[in-house]
Structure 1
């Protein structure tokens, strides 16, 4: 009887586990965007080069997902001609105004929350974190996501302990001196737009979505 009761309680508890809630994509499906305008990012990190790297990495996964993406360099140039130079100011503009400049169906806003390398005694942890927000040309929010990725170089534990320690210190110093943020950024974009459970739906130009 005791075994039976324990099993019954276990089944009950398993049934009470909250499953992740899928995002409501009804607004996205109703808007059915075909073209996406990627505007310059807001940079909350201390690295002044981060916005250019992040902006350059965004079009590829979105295009792979099946959407037309306006060339980011052309977008940046046109916005500058309109007097919009800083990401903060661009994000403050109304989405219909920005979309109308390019005849875009939706606008993607990205904020860089983290883009740093934190050094400890034997390791360096590289972190990137982004907020993504897609808004239709009429101002309706279609989708949003947050993604944080970290990388920590690992040392081979095989061999002499002193040699392993030296290798760990050197790897940490090298990573701190020249952290490589792009692999993390590309992984974040892949998971957010393509691989993640709440990725945007396939666009009209994705081969698998072709009729």
Structure 2
């Protein structure tokens, strides 16, 4: 009786080992899948927060622009009003710079992506520069083969304004996509260096007209 029980127990060992291994493997795989899913979910939540920050930057840009352009000259000359709007324009740029660092470090950006983000950065800087000079919103750029000229943002069809809207749409679309988990530090540095290059300071409007579908932009070569 004892020998028979022992023999049956020995026969059952392989099955028990297989069952235990199966359970252990299932637990390990399940935990990894759960951890990966949680990580992706968390990253997606952060991506959506970043997109929300971008919308805030866009809204603040317009708020400062309209307050400044619609202010009478006597109000513009008021030191308190001028300083307040100049500070708000600078804060808007600061938020954008922070967002651009995040984009460079968390996404695999092409040269085109980096150039267009740099163009958007330069467009946003036009506001602070205009407020500093106590002038209506304008951009000093090289355009249509001319030397540096000052182009106002008057009307919805003004070249800088049209380009700005297209650049904003591009940036929002980029931010709406999932970020990458394996972006390398050297790649992030190269991307950020291209985005913040001063070479775009006077050429951003022309670059945007070439890289984006701006057929309705006067003087566009797209």
Class of the TM-score when normalised by the shorter of the 2 chains: under 0.3
TM-score (norm 1): 0.22
TM-score (norm 2): 0.21
Higher share of residues assigned strand: 1
Higher share of residues assigned helix: 2
Query: Which entry has the higher C-alpha Rg, 1 or 2?
Result: 2
